[in-house]
Homo-oligomer: A and B are copies of this chain.
Amino acid sequence: MALTDGEGLVSVAFALDRRQPVSEQVYEVLRQAIIRVQLPPGTPISENSLCRQFKVSRTPVRAAILRLSEEGLVDVYPQQGSFVSAIKLSDVRDSHFVRRSLELALLREVAGRWTPAMSREMRDVIATQADDIRRGDVDAFHRDDERFHQLLAVYAERAGVWGTILAAKTRLTRFIRFSGNAKRLPVVITEHEAIVDALDRGDADAADDALTLHLDRIFVLFEQRPERDRAYFTN
């Protein structure tokens, strides 16, 4: 939860468990805050400020920021400061290309080895997502959404590919959460169902189309993006 405080800027409140790696916890908190746009692009990430908030030294904070900078979520300017990176539209476009290419390739392999057990498991996830919407738990919805797409990699017996997809999806998620409309979440349910339906029918081409349609839905956000947020984007 983002809230302004005496630090003068946006802070992230969190109590961490000192028995577990500190840098890991700081990293996770910051990463989630950035993806959920609680820390909007351009927000200064002062190491000292974070040290005071988390009650830890700079070392683990620096480690966390270093990881975030490699992930492209934070820009570090020596002797000037670190800031939540702007959302580069070209990055969003390229990340979408990566994700779509990989998921379609996975889907082609999954279609050839589709089983009723897979169908059940996927429909289970979809049902959970529907419940997430009813409960209004957006974070849980996105977590289960990742689970759905991850299953594609698992079923294709290429679980390692998911890491690459997730990295791309992370960059996309920030854009979607920023521009997205909660009313659109139910559409995801029907699109997921369309994919599983096609797979159940053994129609690989239809599944291909359904997944493409599902993933390309992000493009409508390119149009709807409000002008007032221009400052948060580049390119």
Using a CB–CB cutoff of 8 Å, the interface residues on chain A facing chain B are 21, 62-63, 66-67, 70, 78, 90-91, 93-95, 97-98, 101-102, 105, 158-161, 164, 167-168
> How many subunits of this chain does the assembly comprise?
2
CB-defined contacts of A168 to chain B, threshold 8 Å: 164
CB-defined contacts of A63 to chain B, threshold 8 Å: 62-63, 66
Kindly identify which residue among B21, B70, B95 contacts A160, using a CB–CB cutoff of 8 Å.
B95
Q: Which of A21, A105, A160 has the most chain B CB atoms closer than 10 A to its own CB?
A: A160
- Provide the bound-state CA to CA distance between A83 and B105, in Å: 34
7 additional A-B residue pairs with CB within 8 Å, beyond A94-B160, A98-B164: A66-B66, A93-B158, A94-B159, A97-B158, A98-B102, A98-B161, A164-B167
Distance (whole angstroms) from the CB of A166 to the closest CB of chain B = 12
Main SS at interface, chain A: helix
Contact in complex: B167, A94 (CB < 8 Å): no
CB-defined contacts of A167 to chain B, threshold 8 Å: 164
- Provide the bound-state CA to CA distance between A220 and B95, in Å: 31
Distance (whole angstroms) from the CB of A13 to the closest CB of chain B = 26
Distance (whole angstroms) from the CB of A226 to the closest CB of chain B = 24
Contact in complex: B161, A97 (CB < 8 Å): yes
- Provide the bound-state CA to CA distance between A127 and B62, in Å: 45
Distance (whole angstroms) from the CB of A117 to the closest CB of chain B = 22
Distance (whole angstroms) from the CB of A148 to the closest CB of chain B = 19
CB-defined contacts of A164 to chain B, threshold 8 Å: 98, 164, 167-168
CB-defined contacts of A158 to chain B, threshold 8 Å: 93-94, 97
CB closest chain-B residue, reference A165:
B98
CB-defined contacts of A105 to chain B, threshold 8 Å: 97, 101
What are 22 of the A-B contact pairs (CB < 8 Å)? Answer: A21-B78, A63-B66, A67-B70, A70-B70, A90-B159, A90-B160, A91-B160, A93-B160, A94-B158, A94-B159, A94-B161, A95-B160, A97-B105, A97-B161, A98-B102, A98-B161, A98-B164, A101-B101, A102-B102, A164-B164, A164-B167, A164-B168
- Provide the bound-state CA to CA distance between A90 and B100, in Å: 22
- Provide the bound-state CA to CA distance between A94 and B166, in Å: 14
